[in-house]
Amino acid sequence: MTDTVEIFTDGACSGNPGPGGWGALLRYRGHEKTFSGAEAQTTNNRMELMAAIEGLAALKRRCQVT
Q: What's the pLDDT at 2?
A: 85
CATH code, 39: 3.30.420.10
Task: Give me the number of domains the chain comprises.
Answer: 1
pTM, whole model, 2 decimals? Answer: 0.91
Task: Give the mean pLDDT of the chain.
Answer: 96
Residue 43 is assigned to a structural domain of this protein: yes
Residue 66 is assigned to a structural domain of this protein: no
Enumerate long-range contacts of 49-52, CB under 8 Å, 24 or more apart: 49/11, 50/11, 50/22, 51/9, 51/10, 51/11, 51/22, 51/23, 51/24, 52/7, 52/9, 52/24
pLDDT tens-digit map of 14-36 = 999 999 999 999 999 999 999 99
Range of the domain at 48: 4-61
